[in-house]
Amino acid sequence: MSSIKDVAKLAGVSISTVSRVLSGSPNVGNSTRQRVEQAIETIGYKPNLLAQGLRSKRGNLIGLVVPEIHHETFSRLIEYTEEEVRAQGYNLITGNTHGQPDSEDEFIQSLLRRHVDGIIFSRVSDRSRALRILQKDGIPAVIIDRFLENEDIPTIVTDNYGAGVTAAKHLVDLGHTQFALITGPQNIALCRERQKGFAEYLESQGFALPHRNIYEGDFKFETGVDAAKYFLNNAVEFTGLWAENDLMALGAMNTFIRAKKRIPSEISVMGMDDVRSATIVIPSLTTIAQPFSAMCSKAVDLLFRMIDGNSFKDNKIVLPSNLITRESTGRYVVP
């Protein structure tokens, strides 16, 4: 790899002039600038990012913290973020934490040792010491997809309450009058919000959501299965079901079908996320898509503005979700 010296020599200037050209400083004569640019071109020179980072304390690097890289939601987050970041001339280092605070802290440490310019968190563990470490070091950070209360870090989230409303409204519009809900873990704020939106819309329309019609899952396919079995075994009455994510909806639907229930004529099922499987199964799954692409680009945008020195404390950006109607929900017909 060639260095700034080679360029300086070829252009017949000092290395500081080359550096100035590189950083777009106005204090360079026009003809000099051209000569330098010419030299850079012919040599094919690219600044050494380690040297640049060491000196300027800006590593040209963004960190992304996710709990599981291979989960569909996160891999989409990674893909979008990587593209946004790279478009700005930065690289992205992604760390898989399994939600373990230790792993999270260790990863953050290695990022700090590389002079990361900013970090995007998706699903910070509540017990993480990471955020505090960052704030101490003044590293910009944004949180995507999950909202941590009591933290003054900019956050980009889906309108989870609105998603609940959308789900309920879709089912009500189809004529359903009895409903069931499979939630995610209740200790997660966004789950409570989704449930709130769902329940409150039903209530506003004069429908009830009895306690026994709600099953708490953990976002996995298997708890969707468990939920369906619970509903079936306890003869819970409903025709419209929403699960707070697709995997649980898919697990429930699979179980209903195996129990010879007809979907959507006997039970309408809808999920949230729009995972790949939603279009693969029969019937295809009605769902609510989160605006991941927009969320990522917003997150990256915000992060770079923070890197540029802007402050966005107490900033929470809420993006709308989007109903995708497929085959698993249908008009309620009186039996």
Partner DNA sequence: CTGAAAGCGCTAACAC
Partner DNA sequence: GTGTTAGCGCTTTCAG
Residues 37-56 binding a second copy (CB under 8 A) are 46-51, 53-54
- Site size for DNA (CB under 7 A): 29
Instruction: Build a one-symbol-per-residue string for 125-164: x at contacts with a second copy by CB under 8 A, - elsewhere.
Output: ------------x---------------------------
State which residue, 118 or 330, has the beta carbon closest to DNA. 118
Among 10, 20, 145, 225, binds DNA (CB under 7 A): 20
Q: How far is the CB of 102 from DNA (least distance, A)?
A: 22
- Write out the H or E segment, with its range, that includes residue 155: strand 155-158
Which residue has tokens 């989960």?
71
* Residue 75 near a second copy by CB under 8 A: yes
Name the residue among 201, 153, 197, 157 with its Cα closest to residue 176. Answer: 201
Cα–Cα distances in Å, from 9 out to 12, 39, 128?
5, 9, 50
Q: Return the SS3 of 306.
A: helix
43 binds, among DNA, a second copy, none (CB under 5 to 8 A by kind): none
CB 221 within 8 A of CB 146: no
Q: If binding is defined by CB under 8 A, does position 72 make contact with a second copy? A: yes
The one of DNA, a second copy, none whose footprint includes residue 56, by CB under 5 to 8 A per kind, is DNA
CA dist., res. 143 & res. 210, Å (int): 34
**Among 9, 32, 71, 232, which residue interacts with DNA (rule: CB under 7 A)?**
32
Task: Check binding of 27 to DNA (CB under 7 A).
Answer: yes
Task: Print the binding letters for residues 108-147 with DNA: x by CB under 7 A, - otherwise.
Answer: ----------------------------------------
Structural contact between residues 163 and 320, judged by C-beta atoms closer than 8 angstroms: no
Residue 284 CB, nearest approach to a second copy (Å): 9
Distance of CA 293 to the CA centre of its chain: 9
Maximum distance among all alpha carbons in the chain?
88
Token pair 């040209």 is at which residue? 60
The interaxial angle of helices 221-233 and 246-258, nearest 10 deg, is 50
Q: How far is the CB of 90 from a second copy (least distance, A)?
A: 9
- Counting Cβ atoms within 10 Å, is residue 96 exposed (0-12), middle (13-18) or buried (19+)? middle
How many residues touch a second copy (CB under 8 A)? 49
Which residues sit at the interface with DNA, rule CB under 7 A? 1, 3-5, 12-17, 19-20, 22-23, 27-33, 45, 47-48, 51-52, 54-56
